[in-house]
Amino acid sequence: MVVKSEIKHIKSLQQKKYRIQNGLFVVEGIKTVSELLQSSFSPYKIYSTDESLLTGIPVEKAIVSASELKKMSSLQNPNKVLGVFHIPRAVPPVFKDWILVLDALKDPGNLGTIIRLCDWFGIRHLVCSPDTADCYNPKVLQATMGSIARVNVVYEVLDSLLERPEVPVYGAFMDGRPVYGQSLPAAGMLVMGNEAHGISAAVSEKVKHRIGIPQYGDQRTESLNVAMATAILLNEIRRPTQR
């Protein structure tokens, strides 16, 4: 049983403004909540309709009714457990492996998928321009499937990052040089652009290596979805150079 103001508070965390104000975000579903509980994320409070699911969880918790959970949830069919966690302090990216950089990526589903791809390919640091979708948006978290626990997502202005001398800067362009012909270094930054407009002009200037994925079909195909292109390029970065 929770009071109305608490439900309202949790519901408000669906908006970025209130997430920032409170330093809190919400994840839903047994799997994601337990992954976050086992990670370095710090829990604030866990809610569940099922008492047994809360047993042994050593954090503040409450049993709620199905209708209370529905009121707190961003899902049409809430999934038994809802967790509120503290937004972690961002850690500066480390330049000894590849870092993925997103320039104004807007779609929460794409961002969630890309976080999951980073996790799969062991990319530990994801830097997003401030106008990229918020990684604590419920739709993003839903799409990450818990991978948010293993990828350090940092929001910062890209200009000075891309001027860092430690590693070369690569970027994906429709007319970029085919990635297949290149021997990629062991560490670098890979910039992926906005869904509709690609990498912005200002950011493009800082990209030294313009790479692309050759198209094999009809020229009318507009472009690969940015998440698909990211999947292919991260695979190219990680795959052994010879087969």
Q: Residues 24-53 vs its own copies: string with x where CB under 8 A?
A: -----------x------------------
Q: Can you tell me which of 28, 68, 103, 119 binds its own copies, judged by CB under 8 A?
A: 119
Region from 85-93, 132-140, 201-209, 217-225 binding its own copies, contact rule CB under 8 A = 217-225
Nearer to its own copies, 111 or 158 (CB): 111
Q: Can you tell me which of 4, 17, 89, 243 binds its own copies, judged by CB under 8 A?
A: 243
DSSP single-letter state for residue 219? T
Nearer to its own copies, 197 or 238 (CB): 238
Q: Can you tell me which of 95, 120, 155, 173 binds its own copies, judged by CB under 8 A?
A: 120
CB of 120 within 8 A of CB of 231? no
Alpha-carbon distance of 108 to 183, in angstroms, equals 32
Is 165 among the residues that bind its own copies (CB under 8 A)?
Answer: no
Alpha-carbon distance of 54 to 70, in angstroms, equals 18
Residue with structure tokens 């509980």? Answer: 37
Is 231 among the residues that bind its own copies (CB under 8 A)?
Answer: yes
Nearer to its own copies, 49 or 147 (CB): 147
CB of 33 within 8 A of CB of 46? yes
Q: H helices within the chain, ranges in order? A: 4-12, 16-22, 30-37, 51-54, 66-72, 108-120, 138-144, 158-162, 201-204, 226-238
Alpha-carbon distance of 67 to 94, in angstroms, equals 44
Q: Which residues make Cβ contacts (< 8 Å) with residue 94, sequence separation at least 6?
A: 124, 125
CB of 153 within 8 A of CB of 115? yes
Q: Can you tell me which of 95, 121, 155, 173 binds its own copies, judged by CB under 8 A?
A: 121
- Min dist CB 183 to its own copies, Å, is 7
Considering only residues 176-215, where is the footprint of its own copies by CB under 8 A?
180-183, 213-215
- Min dist CB 162 to its own copies, Å, is 24
Which residues of this chain interact with its own copies, rule CB under 8 A?
A: 35, 113, 116-123, 145-147, 150, 180-183, 213-218, 220-222, 224-225, 227-228, 231-232, 235-236, 238-243
